[in-house]
Chains A and B, each alone.
Chain A
Amino acid sequence: MLTRYKFLLTVTRNNYFLRQLSLESPNVFAKPESRCRTVEDNPLNHNLEHEGRFYVVPPAVCNQLFRFGGIPKGYEVQAKTFDETCLMIRKPALEVINMMKVADYSRPIVKYVLFGERGAGKSLTLAHILHYALNSGHLIIHVPWVPDWMKKCKDHTRSETREGFRDTPLDSAAWLAHFKTQNQHLLSQTDLTVTSNYTWSKREETRSGSPLVELVDLGINRIKYASNIIVALASEVKALSSSGRCKTLVAIDGFNCFYNKRTMIKDENWKIVPPFQLTVTEAFINLVNYNWTNGSVVLTADRLVWSGNERGESDLPLYQLGKEAFELLDPFIPVHVPCYSEKEFHSCMDYYMERSWIQNENGNTEEGRSELMYLSTMNPYQLMKICGPL
């Protein structure tokens, strides 16, 4: 993993991957309209008519949005096998997108919390919303999976500026690269500038009025400051949005992990560092506070962030978030991501048949399908797992 990150950082430094990706290029990968598939690949136009059908996320978009995560591992492997990243248009995503379309952006941010059982498609719903945000010109602040920072932390040091806090330089720099990739088309605009002065060291400082991309690049190049730069970036983005210079979507997968009691990180005295003592936590908690405008926040509350059987009784948001996080987010809009409906199940099976994924001759019979329905309990992840060896 470390080598992958090193590679990433090298690549970032060389600005190698920042080639311009044309978003408007015609989608040559589009397959014809069918029962399980729609050619409409712009989430701005998705509505209930397309509900339950798959659309292809254009490879350029996929490369921009999900290069450093955002699509769950298993689904990514399947997408690679199918040679296309298809997302099903489902009601929870449509609901959030619709509300994002009509929300009053002069008012404080609206918070949406996706909840549902494991494998129901919270992360992919988030991916769909991200695609919408990209096409509607939002600045995207996306955390692919918060527990990665808490459980698989690459490196951590004591914060020099904050007493008792810990920085996570490598992860922070990697995230800044992720942020830069996702927003490359917006960051090149000149009106996104830093609004206050930051002094990082004697020689390094960011003056107000300098482009935002400079701040991000500094974080990527000088990973020592990456964590603090994320905190600065969060408040900058809030200020920029509030002043109307950009529209922002904050999407955090596994948000409730910030409210875990412990992480896998231990300090010099071998004491466990709780998430609230990480510098990055402060930045993202600051972002979901209601005191800014022109933005939306989409979070997921997932039981997978806890270790073992902790909080394993329910998937409902109050239980998963806990009282503290609930009070921070309140009032928010809980959005239930349920398992497949019968229509969605058959659409998924049609898609598998179309990709010749199911070779078993009984896979497409009515009996076979009802057996799969029973075995998977209509859970999308379970269905994917069961259909894998068929």
Chain B
Amino acid sequence: MAHFPKYMTTVLCIPRYQKQLPYVMTSVYSQIARSEKQTEEFRVLELVKKSAQRSARRKAKKIELLPPRTNVMPVDQDWSSVWPGPRSFHPASVPLPLRQGYNKKGVSPGKFANAELMKIPNFLHLTPPAIKKHCEALKKFCTPWPEELNDENCEKHFPVEVITSDYCFSSPDIREPMARIVILKVKLSALTLDKHAKDKLLRLVGERYDPSTDILTLTTDRCPLKKQNYEYALYLLTALYHESQKTEPWESEKTVADMEYYDWEQNVSYKNVLGTLNWPQSVKDTENFKLTPEMEEYKKAISDLMNKGEDLYTISKYKEATKKLLNLPEFLPLEYTTA
């Protein structure tokens, strides 16, 4: 203790530092040792410690990882047993050189440690062979499709097609609001409608009818349940059908100006044509007049002109038809007028 410098003693005496005593002691001892060694030489003041003297950085503990499974996968393996169900992407199980994401400086990041690939849903469990396997497994629960029921018969005996959707997913609530929607499709030719009824029905349904396929589509979604919507769709079809069969007393009051489309026989043009062709006799019985092929063509041309709208094509068709009607020769090729 005799060698202790005076200030150290002071430190020791302060109770606050007593907990740090072991450190203080070591530091003191080392100083003593150094002072003994340097008795012959001057001590060197080391303001910055030399690097060799620094304590070595703690080495990261290397985690032992197995090599990815894809390295040992045979090429003819059964993929559906590798990836049997829906699962997030796993790079070591998928033997594909996938890349996903954006790298500003180079190529897109590879599949390992790629969150982007894990975020997106994948269908690796729904490969065609897997689906085939499913079907094979389900086959034993099915009966064969009746052979007589081909597309034609199907259309004939089951004219109404009902489309609904079921949703399968995991969530606290198993109800999906979209599942309530019912789409009912029916070919208009399957219904018995006369000219008036068809006209009325088409006007009632509006854009729900597609003239190119002759299919009427009713979509019901106003009720909360699928069954209610289905029944409502059937009710709508019944109501539409019977409503279109009715003829209201005011329907007879319709004039040419009220027509939605151009009906040649009701227009001045019809009288003009009959008058011109039968001149100088006047035609009394315009109702039961038998149309000649030229008049039929003219009728089509003028109806198209009025209904589809006027363009160079419909005008040239009208011109052609008028020429035939008035027995005038074709002087120039048709493309001249349409050019």
- Residue B318 interfacial (CB < 8 Å): yes
* Known interface pairs A95-B332, A314-B310, A336-B337; A327-B298 also in contact (CB < 8 Å): no
Q: Is the CB of B329 within 8 A of A102?
A: yes
B239-284 residues with Cβ-Cβ distance < 8 A to A are 267-269, 272-273, 275-276, 279
* Pair A331/B329 contact, Cβ less than 8 Å: no
A318 part of interface (Cβ distance < 8 Å): yes
Chain B: which residue is nearest A338 at the CB level? Answer: B339
Does A333 sit at the interface, judged by CB under 8 A?
yes
Q: Does B311 contact A (CB under 8 A)?
A: yes
Say yes or no: is A214 at the interface (Cβ < 8 Å to chain B): no
CB-CB contacts of B109-129 with A at 8 A, as 1s and 0s? 000000000000000000000
Binds A, one of B144-152, B153-161, B320-328: B320-328
B289 at interface (Cβ–Cβ under 8 A)?
no
Which residues in window 213-258 of A have CB below 8 A to B? Answer: none
Across-interface contacts of A338 in B (CB, < 8 A): 339
Tell me the minimal C-beta distance from B123 to chain A in angstroms. 53
Interface residues on chain A, number (Cβ under 8 Å): 28
Q: Interface SS of chain A: helix, strand, loop or mixed? A: mixed
| A334 with B319, Cβ < 8 A, contacts A318-B310, A327-B268 known | yes
Which among B272, B276, B310, B323 is the interface contact of A333 at CB below 8 angstroms? B323
Cβ contact of B331, chosen from A95, A110, A318, cutoff 8 A:
A95
Distance between Cα atoms of A110 and B277 in the complex (Å): 12
**B274 to nearest A CB, angstroms?**
11
Given contacts A91-B336, A110-B328, A290-B275, contact A334 B269 (CB under 8 A): no
Q: Does A7 contact B (CB under 8 A)?
A: no
Contact among B267, B312, B325, B327 with A316 in the assembled complex (CB-CB below 8 Å):
B312
Q: For the side of the interface on B, what is the size category?
A: 20 to 34
Tell me if A200 counts as interface (CB < 8 A to partner B). Answer: no
The interface bits of chain B over 289-324 (1 if a CB of A lies within 8 angstroms of the residue's CB, else 0) are 000000000100010011000111001101100110
- Is there contact, CB below 8 Å, between B279 and A291? yes
Is the Cβ of B326 less than 8 Å from the Cβ of A331? yes
A290 with B279, Cβ < 8 A, contacts A91-B336, A107-B326, A327-B268 known: yes
- Tell me the nearest residue of chain A to B323, going by C-beta: A333
Please name the residue on chain A nearest to B273 by beta carbon: A331
Measured between beta carbons, the chain B residues less than 8 angstroms from A334 are 315, 318-319
Chain A hits for B273, CB < 8 A:
330-331
B276 touching A108, Cβ below 8 Å: yes
Known A-B contacts A327-B267, A331-B273, A331-B298; the reply to A316 vs B315 at CB < 8 A is: yes
The answer to whether B272 touches A290, judged by C-beta atoms less than 8 angstroms apart, is yes
Residues of B near A293 (CB, < 8 A) are: 279
Inter-chain contacts of B310 with A (CB < 8 A): 314, 316-319
Write the nearest CB–CB distance from A102 to chain B, whole angstroms.
Answer: 6
Q: Point out the residues of chain A lying under 8 angstroms from B306, CB to CB.
A: 318
When distances are taken between beta carbons in the complex, the residues of chain A under 8 Å from B337 are 336
Q: How far is the CB of A372 from chain B (nearest CB, A)?
A: 21
Bound CA–CA A333/B329 (angstroms) = 12
> Does B279 lie within 8 Å of A98, measured CB to CB?
no
Contact partner of A98 (CB less than 8 A), chosen from B272, B319, B322, B331, is: B331
**Per-residue B-contact encoding for A97-124, CB less than 8 Å = 1, 0 else:** 0110011100110100000000000000
CB of B312 within 8 A of CB of A336, answer yes
CA of A322 to CA of B306 in the docked complex: distance in angstroms? 12
Residue from the list B272, B316, B331, B336 in contact with A331, Cβ < 8 A = B272
* B residues with CB within 8 A of A: 267-269, 272-273, 275-276, 279, 298, 302, 305-306, 310-312, 315-316, 318-319, 322-323, 325-329, 331-332, 336-337, 339
